[in-house]
Structure 1
Amino acid sequence: MKKFATIAVAFGLLSAILAGCSGGSGSATATPTATESSQSLGEITVISREEGSGTRGAFIELFGVEEKDANGNKVDHTTEEALIANKTDVVITQVAASKSAIGYISLGSLNDTVKALKVDGVDATAENVSNGTYSIARPFNIATKGTPSEVAQDFIDFILSADGQRIVSDNNYIPVDANAATYAGTKPNGKIVVAGSSSVSPLMEKLQEAYLALNPNATIEIQTSDSTTGMQSTMSGICDIGMASRELKDSELAELTPIVIAKDGIAMIVNKENSLDNISSETVKEIYTGVITDWADVA
């Protein structure tokens, strides 16, 4: 009897499937699509960076997620429901793995595993950052304390030369000097440690590779963490050059000398199966402050 019941259930399921597929007159047949309507994705999975991240600092300032309280103190209102990622590539991985996720990353780190949204109708591109139409952008800074060593100064000279700025441009960042002179270094010996922002690190690795091809006498170690750690490491003498993907704070400027090496946009990213293409600045703020929690409420 149990065997008969099992067969009957299986037959019933098969009949239902066939009926759904046949789509008699008047019936509608759903057509699969490559992307899902954002409204059908349910609760939004908010991905943010850790405290101390220069990308987070720039993001919360640019989108108004950070606001001053009654005493004039800056308060970060990022929702407590946000999942925290401690590196740029972790944000990308999390968004690529979740249909309901949204995150923000360095524009130069964008790849084809996720989708960048237009913000206020403007595409997130290096060209639009350069011409000012995409305003969600921040500087890439390096910083030193006191007089840099000979090899550290030579590496900085390379970064700011035409050769270094070409690498900046080739990697989808915006150079700070399109008319820089060609690098003419002295190939000094020595080792330097560069530490800080995980947003600046991918560009710094490209600059490191190109510089060492010209000066094999040097050794450069890159330690990736976040902007605040990079500045603290520079102030304490742990590293020779710090990296920050934001403006330096007053307390940092009191001890360090900053140098802008590039400009970078911040891209808002979603899963590739999300049908959304454009988002307003106000909606981004409302998502990251917890006012909007479901994709159905995203216009």
Structure 2
Amino acid sequence: MKKFLALGLCAMMAVTTFVSCGSSDSGSGEGPTGDITVVSREEGSGTRGAFVELMGVMDEEENDITTQNAEVTNSTSVMMQTVAGNDAAIGYVSLGSLSDDVKALKVDGVEATVDNVKSGDYKVARPFNIVKGKNVSELAQDFEKYIMSEEGQATVAEEGYIREDNTEEYTASGLSGKITLAGSTSVAPVMEVLAEGYKALNPDVEIEIQQTGSGAGIESAIAGTCDLGMSSRALTEDELAQGLTVTEIATDGIAVIVNNNNTIEDLTTDIIGQIFKGEITTWDEVTK
């Protein structure tokens, strides 16, 4: 039924915004027209940091040069809602957070799938990290041990991310107390599932997860106001110099997303970069 509804919407939009359903790089058929609505994450977002680096949305001094005309969203869920509600929109989200509410584009001819990230064919990928300051509690260390165990990494894979290998079985510690995590809104969903698994084995533990963005999570780890920071980007040399320790808990792809009514299926890295830099501003330029 959803398929028929989607086809009906595509047909209705043909007279105004979209005409026929063809791939932008196939050289045949027509695609969307009109202005592009660029949707980006906020500054400090790990997803944004990784995306602009991977797509070349940076100047020679490696500064983020995302177009000033971009609509800025402050979380993965808001990004999805924004693109799902705007036929002209293009954005990006964690592959593990992707849903049928939007369409993931192929990038350079490669689908955004876990298998393609794992094989290295899909290049738009980044690490999921937990970040520890100089003083880490025994309880926080035990939670990290669970995350990196066979049980924890099985959960990572079940949630649609690339797991780490060479893991060991976890044994419940019997510890009690509270762990506070802060940071990436992309890491948070899988961390919530991991927290539930850990608490099932250690029922006297409370885990609070604050979704504040990667940059804020790293700052909290430096300041010692959280037990573990969550980051969906690599740390800078300046951040590492603050005495932080980083553990990569998973690898995640970044899906480039458009509205389900958009007829484009595939874009090159170069075109995506130009769109987010504001050098390409209309869908006509993409499909001509």
TM-score (norm 1): 0.86
SS at match of 1:298: helix
Q: Distance in 2 between matches of 1:286 and 1:40?
A: 17
Q: Distance in 2 between matches of 1:241 and 1:94?
A: 30
Q: How does 1:72-221 map to 2 (within 5 A)?
A: 73-177=61-165, 179-221=166-208
Is 1:32 matched up with 2:11?
Answer: yes
Q: How does 1:29-68 map to 2 (within 5 A)?
A: 32=11, 36-37=18-19, 39-68=31-60
Residue 150 of structure 1, CA deviation:
1.3
Unaligned stretches of 5+ residues in structure 2: 1-9, 20-29
The answer for the alignment partner of 1:253 in structure 2 is 240
Q: How does 1:250-289 map to 2 (within 5 A)?
A: 250-254=237-241, 255-289=243-277
Residue 157 of structure 1, CA deviation:
0.3
Q: Distance in 2 between matches of 1:121 and 1:74?
A: 27
Specify the code of the residue in structure 1 equivalent to 2:116.
Answer: N
Q: Distance in 1 between matches of 2:130 and 2:137?
A: 15
The answer for the alignment partner of 1:240 in structure 2 is 227
SS at match of 1:210: helix
Residue 251 of structure 1, CA deviation:
1.7
Contact 2:176 2:205 in 1 (8 A): yes
Q: Distance in 1 between matches of 2:150 and 2:124?
A: 26
Count of aligned positions = 264
TM-score (norm 2): 0.89
Structure ID, larger Rg:
1
SS at match of 1:268: strand
Q: Deviations over 1:168-208 (max 9, x none)?
A: 0001000022x311111312111110000001000100101
Residue 237 of structure 1, CA deviation:
1.1
Contact 1:47 1:91 in 2 (8 A): yes
Q: Distance in 1 between matches of 2:164 and 2:189?
A: 17
Q: Distance in 2 between matches of 1:119 and 1:74?
A: 22
Contact 1:39 1:297 in 2 (8 A): no
Contact 1:234 1:241 in 2 (8 A): yes
Q: Distance in 2 between matches of 1:32 and 1:48?
A: 28
Residue 148 of structure 1, CA deviation:
1.8
Residue 290 of structure 1, CA deviation:
0.7
Q: Distance in 1 between matches of 2:11 and 2:54?
A: 38
The answer for the alignment partner of 1:26 in structure 2 is none
SS at match of 2:93: strand
Residue 271 of structure 1, CA deviation:
0.3
Q: Distance in 1 between matches of 2:32 and 2:44?
A: 34
Q: Deviations over 1:234-285 (max 9, x none)?
A: 1111100000000011121112100000000000000001011101100001
Q: Distance in 1 between matches of 2:99 and 2:33?
A: 22
Contact 1:117 1:267 in 2 (8 A): yes
Q: Distance in 2 between matches of 1:233 and 1:292?
A: 38
Q: Deviations over 1:200-238 (max 9, x none)?
A: 000100101111111101110000011000000111111
The answer for the alignment partner of 1:18 in structure 2 is none
Unaligned stretches of 5+ residues in structure 1: 1-30
Q: Distance in 2 between matches of 1:280 and 1:40?
A: 16
